[in-house]
Chain A
Amino acid sequence: MAKVQALDYDVDKYLEEQGYDDHFHEHEHGDKYKVSFISKYIFSTDHKTIAKQYLITGMAWAFIGAFFSLIFRLQLGFPDMDLSWLRPILGGWININSEGVGSLSPDFYYAMVTIHGTVLVFFVLTAGLSGTFSNFLIPLQIGARDMASPFLNMLSYWFFFLASVIMLLSLFLESGPFAGGWVAYPPLSALPQAMMGSGMGMNLWLFSLVFFVVSVLLGGLNYITTVINLRTKGMSFWRLPLTVWSFFVTAIIGLLSFPVLVAGFVLLLLDRLLGTSFYLSDIFIAGEPLHHVGGSPILYQHLFWFLGHPEVYIIILPAMGIVSEVMSTHARRPIFGYKAMVYSIIAIGFLSFLVWAHHMFVSGMDPFLANFFILFTLIIAVPSAVKVFNWITTLYKGNIHLTVPMLFAIGFVSFFISGGLTGLFLGNAPIDIQMHDTYFVVAHFHIVMGVAAFFGMFAGIYHWFPKMFGRYMNQTLGKIHFWLTIVAAYMVFWPMHYLGVAGVPRRYYTFDSFVNFSQFDTLNQIITIFAFVGFTAQLLFAFNFFYSIFYGKKVSERNPYRANTLEWSAPTNPGHGNWPGKLPVVHRWPYDFHKNGSDYRPQYVPLDPDERDVH
């Protein structure tokens, strides 16, 4: 084969000669994008700024959530440890006994478990991941100047911000934040007398999440509209990068499922505040019978998981898109099975609506229903398997540049394999009888949608950081971050499978009462120690991230990875509007690497006379 020619395309020339003139400057007269500090950095309508706002808010929540997990891991790994030194930070959440030994109170143990789950799922892996990258990449990769509605986009972030503020406030309530688990099953979540966190903490939790859903819906509407309407000339659907495909399908899933969650939450609020009985019946609590009859807690579970399950795909699909893009670019090789990838994304999106009740096999719902949910749940393994095999084949005979984003992309695939496969156990109802609500479940979903999604997110952050901030992150720190995280994550979550198979239930404050659950002290200590190692790695990442924003090495070339997608055709620090002059016009799919002897061919490069755009 011919030697690969290292090319540097003169982007400006292509844009000037081939670009599409939307008369950007004549229309705008520069007014719309003339900005003050406030409108540039705070109430910005620029999708790139909004993306960064999502990212940084998401990171803040990630650290709060991770910090909580360390505290409750201390309780699980070292229950006898004196925690009185945490009193300056956690105050009354730490009980001090007569000997001066501090321990975590069970109320706040559960509060931390709950807030950890809630913020990681919603604020970090939904807003922080999909919010960041959908916002940042959709307009840049489809050749649009901004979202279809920049104002709604801004509103979307500020609703998220409002949700964040309310959630944050709930942490400072005297009775603590909500503590009944992130799934918030009634009656525990509906009755203030059931636990401390079910009082005002639960009201704030519900309000926060309702605002959060508003944010997701505003964002999602925008993403969908933008992808459908604002693709530049030549950008057909079959030429969209897999990132955009995944954000697009993610937004559709969100738009269809989140409203159901809100419906569920509103009914829960009515039960809580107005004495209705949607979810409540036959309850005797705190010494008296309640008036509620006829409601069903199972109804809530259906409504919750109708979002809850699609939600895990809302989390993982953007990561999948990012990984596909990063892998192809850094392996210098077309993504394998582009169309199969797109069809799998769509299939996963569709099937994600037909599997929700696999979370409820032993909830008391009619066992007959399980037949369908076993079927559809296990079918989802097929498109997932297709994606995994396509990623692996993308590495096959590649020319792999093992950069930091590439390492994280490989890590993602590893976690997705490890965590995805355990889903086949849980999705099969008979096995779920035994595994449901044990540590096996905790291991499964943390690996497949927690760690894997984070690895996708890290791959994306390291990959697009130069585009976002015009500077590079420190590579060595990036690699240390990768190695510490992959080792720590496996060491934390892999042993949990064993706990699960041994029957140890999740959400236990202590295992002391049970003969069979209290034999795993060493295992629990290992998990806790590696949780600290993993957290340390994230501190290094945070330092690297914020330091590099201001002092990182400056990006000198417009397209440092020699990638094909359109965002790299924009200037390194694009202003609002993304391209100063004409918009790029697309002539090919985004994965023409090593084609006909050239290292890469960006999408704006026209086809050679004898070349066809086939994939």
Chain B
Amino acid sequence: MTALVATIAYVLLLGIIILISFINDVHIDMRRDDPDFRVKQYRRSAVGLLVFAALFFALTFGSAYWYKDFMLGYGPHKAASEHGPEIDSLFNITLFFTGLVFVLATAALFWFAFKYRHVRGRVASQFAHSTKLEMIWTVVPALVMTILVVKGIVSWNKITADVSEDEEYLEIDITGQQFLWNIRYPGKDGKLGAKDFRLIEPGINELGQDWTDERNHDDFFAEELILPKGRKIKLRIYAKDVLHSVFLPHFRVKMDAVPGMPTYAVFTPTMTTEEYRRRLAKTKTYQRPADPDDPESDPLWKVFDFELACAELCGIGHSSMRRVVKVVEPEEFDKWFSQQKSYYMENIRFTEHDPYKDKLLPQEISQRKSDFETRFNRALSAEEEAKRSIELRHVEFKTGSAELSPLSRYELDFVVEALKAHPNIRLEIAGHTDNVGNEEMNQKLSLARAKAVYDYLVSKGIAPDRLKTVGYGATQPKASNASESGRSANRRIELKIIK
């Protein structure tokens, strides 16, 4: 109903404008032979142009002032990267020259249109050519352009320069896809691992990382782009499906993400998020509540965050490709960085997707070894007999069978080494199970498993008389059998050191 009324009102308005126009045109036509009338008509338009120009300038400068606190590079918005001020200053130099030309040319245009409007008896000038004038307005713009071009080219080459071999920088992989950004950090080795789009498996291997590349083993993902202040960052930019573009407005960074062609952007953040917020907090504009409808809501400066946006149309979710960018002090960054867990270790290791699931990686071996040795030595030197026992944490069997899993050999090899290092000790190998199944079966199974360990050790050259096997079945649980984790803890091999 409202729509109908609005439409009728709109059509009526148009009709009235048209009607008035027709009446006015009849009036003009009646007085077409009156030269003064025409002069008056032109005067009206000329005054209109002048008023327009005045309002135009007033609104231009007024609105620019009004919005200055939101403009990046103005008000509180100092560029948050090392190269940012360079771009801002080129912007300002360009603004100076273009602003000057804009004001002068626009003023001249509207002023001349007003001043030289037709009045009776005016004779137009014949002035149609002046080599001098034309030289001036060819050469002066050319000189200004020279300044802008030279400054532009110098800045450009500085800003887009790649990192050099010998400098320190942090590499981060940003990969766009419909409609999110994957953010991958290089992990402790500082290197991003190789990837291939053919290896991508949604939900498992989003980037198609090649797990046989060891550089991938410590890479981790983050939900936010966390950056250390003052360190050089090299973003390695990729796209999985269509074009995207990495846009970090506060850092003056933008680079397209192109499927099949990695790109990069190098920059150094110079302000932490907190510092930027504190700058904003000083201006009235950012002290207003973030939600205009709720005066109690946090002020704008408080909800401020650096943001990563997509700046190349990539499909219907284009405007939702946001990530928060957080710049922190380098110490805080290092702490955060060292706490991050490798994606491979957490999500891929020992799963069917892991090409190394049947063997241990060197760092895992050394880690397990030192763990084993610590426990072994502690047990060895224990006073009480009860504490002379150690559990083999990584020796596992297939369900219901006494077949050692392939990875069990690593820990058993430590045992072999330990026995060789301490030729005067003997071991009791004790098998334990959980309480699932009948007692007799469990007893048999636990013995068989202890026997399997015995066989392995013997095969590695340990004298059989140094070893003794025993099966306890489910009789000595170390945890409650009510839960799976408890049952899992109860299925174990323990070694008792006999001196």
List A residues at the B interface (Cβ < 8 Å).
1, 3-4, 85, 106-107, 109-110, 179-181, 185-188, 191, 194-196, 280-285, 287, 289, 293-298, 331-340, 362-364, 367, 370-371, 374-375, 378-379, 381-382, 385-386, 388-393, 395-402, 407, 410, 413-414, 417-418, 421-422, 424-425, 428-431, 433-434, 436-438, 474-477, 479-480, 483, 486-487, 490, 494-495, 498, 501-503, 505, 507-511, 513-517, 519-521, 523, 536, 539-540, 543-544, 553, 591, 593-595, 615
Question: Considering only CB atoms, which chain A residue lies closest to B70 in the complex?
Answer: A502
Given A110-B316, A519-B70, A594-B124, are A434 and B178 neighbors across the interface (CB < 8 Å)? no
User: Which of B123, B130, B145, B320 sits near A381, CB closer than 8 Å?
Assistant: B145
Task: Report the interface size for chain B: residues with CB under 8 A from the other chain.
Answer: 121
Residue on B with the closest CB to A287?
A: B202
Given A486-B52, A502-B70, A371 contacting B157 (CB threshold 8 A):
yes
- Which B residue sits closest to A339, measured CB to CB? B129
A residues near B129, Cβ cutoff 8 Å:
336-339, 615
Q: Which one, B24, B98, B142, contacts A421 given CB within 8 A? A: B98
Please indicate the chain B residues that have their CB under 8 angstroms from the CB of A407 in the complex: 45, 49
Selected A-B contacts with CB under 8 Å, 10 pairs? A185-B312, A194-B242, A382-B145, A386-B137, A429-B156, A431-B91, A476-B20, A510-B319, A519-B300, A539-B14
- Taking the closest CB of chain B, its distance from the CB of A62, in whole angstroms, is 18
Q: By the criterion CB–CB under 8 Å, are A514 and B153 in contact?
A: no
Contact of A187 among B22, B106, B124, B242 (CB under 8 A): B242
Contact residue among B21, B22, B109, B149 (Cβ-Cβ distance under 8 Å from A378): B149
Nearest-Cβ distance from residue A427 to partner chain B, whole angstroms: 8
B112 interface residue (CB < 8 Å to A): yes
Majority secondary structure of chain B interface residues (helix, strand, loop or mixed)? helix
Is the Cβ of A375 less than 8 Å from the Cβ of B18? no
Q: Tell me whether B252 is interfacial, beta carbon within 8 Å.
A: yes
Query: Is A424 a contact of B319 with CB atoms below 8 Å?
Result: no
B243 contacts A495, CB within 8 Å?
no
Taking a contact as CB atoms closer than 8 A, the residue among B198, B311, B320 that contacts A438 in the complex is B311
**Of A294, A332, A431, A515, which is within 8 A of B124 by CB?**
A332
Which residues of the partner chain A approach B45 to less than 8 Å between Cβ atoms? 402, 407, 479
Q: Within 8 Å of chain A (Cβ to Cβ): is B254?
A: yes
Q: Is the CB of B86 within 8 A of A295?
A: no
Q: A402-B117, A476-B28 are in contact. List 13 more A-B contacts (CB 8 A).
A: A282-B259, A283-B197, A289-B197, A363-B258, A421-B102, A425-B98, A429-B152, A433-B253, A475-B25, A502-B70, A510-B319, A536-B10, A553-B25
Answer whether residue B17 sits at the interface, using C-beta atoms and an 8 A cutoff.
yes
Specify which of B28, B86, B152, B200 is in contact with A289 (CB 8 Å cutoff).
B200
Question: In this complex, what residue of B is CB-closest to A509?
Answer: B319
In the bound assembly, the distance between CA atoms of A110 and B319 in angstroms comes to: 11
Q: In the bound complex, do residue A399 and residue B118 qualify as a contact, i.e. CB atoms below 8 Å apart?
A: yes
B201 to nearest A CB, angstroms?
10
Is B406 in contact with chain A by the CB < 8 A criterion? no
**Smallest CB gap from A391: residue in B:** B109
Chain B: CB-nearest residue to A281: B260
Residue in A417, A486, A495, A540 whose Cβ sees the most chain B Cβ within 10 Å: A417
For residue A425, which residues in chain B have a CB less than 8 angstroms away from its CB?
A: 91, 94-95, 98
- Of A479, A498, A509, the residue contacting B64 (CB under 8 A) is A498
Distance of A335 Cα from B22 Cα, bound (Å): 34
Chain A residues with Cβ below 8 Å from B110 are 410, 414
Are A386 and B319 in contact, with the CB atoms below 8 A? no
CA distance A508 to B129 in the complex (A): 49
CB-CB under 8 A for A515 and B307, given A285-B240, A363-B256, A421-B101: yes
Q: Are B125 and A397 in contact (CB under 8 A)?
A: yes
The answer for the CA separation of A494 and B130 in the assembled complex, in Å, is 35
User: In the assembled complex, which residues on chain A have CB atoms less than 8 Å from the CB atom of B311?
Assistant: 436-438, 505
Q: In the complex, what distance in Å separates the CA atom of A390 from the CA atom of B135?
A: 12
- Distance in Å from the Cβ of A249 to the closest Cβ of chain B? 19
Nearest-Cβ distance from residue A571 to partner chain B, whole angstroms: 22
| Chain B residues in 8 Å Cβ range of A191 | 241-242
Question: Which of A109, A337, A391, A503 touches B128 (beta carbons < 8 Å)?
Answer: A337
- A472: nearest chain-B partner, CB-CB: B25
CB distance from A526 to the nearest CB of B (A): 10
A179–B318 CA distance with the chains assembled, in angstroms: 12
Contact B254 A187 (CB under 8 A): no
Please state if A284 and B197 are interface contacts (CB–CB under 8 Å): yes
Contact B29–A553 (Cβ < 8 Å): yes
The 8 A-B pairs with the shortest beta carbon distances in the complex, nearest first, are A281-B260, A503-B249, A397-B125, A334-B128, A508-B319, A476-B21, A367-B160, A395-B112
Residues A474 and B260 in contact, CB atoms below 8 Å apart:
no
Nearest CB on A from B72, distance (A) = 5
Contact A498 B60 (CB under 8 A): no
Q: Is there a chain A Cβ closer than 8 Å to B113's Cβ? A: yes
